[in-house]
Amino acid sequence: MKAKTLIDLDQFSKDGLRTLAFAEKVLDDEEFSAWYEKYQAASNLLEGREEEVTTIALPSIFFLETHLNV
C-alpha cells in the first residue's frame, strides 16, 4: 500500500496536481532534546533572535523533514 501511495503521489505531482499528504517522523528523546535546547536558547535571545532562530531552524528543517513515514 505504501509503495502504491508513493507512486500515486509522484504521478499527481507530475500532473501538476496539488496534494496534501501526512507523514511522521518519530524522534527519540535525545534527538528532540538536542534540537529543543538549541531552539529554546535562540528563542530567548533579546538581540539577534530572528537570525539565530533561522540559523537553528534551517538545518533542523532538513533533519526533521527527511526520512518521513507516510
Could you report the per-residue pLDDT of 2-61, keeping only the tens digit for each?
889 889 989 999 999 988 888 898 989 998 898 888 888 888 888 888 888 778 777 777
**pTM over the 0.85 mark:** no
CA 67 to chain centre: 10
Asked if residues 6 and 70 have their Cβ atoms less than 8 Å apart, the reply is yes
Encoded amino acid at 11, one letter: Q
Q: What is the pLDDT of residue 6?
A: 86
Q: What is the pLDDT of residue 30?
A: 93
**Integer Cα distance of 64 and 42 in angstroms:** 18
Q: What is the pLDDT of residue 37?
A: 86
Q: Can you tell me whether residue 69 is helix, strand or coil?
A: strand
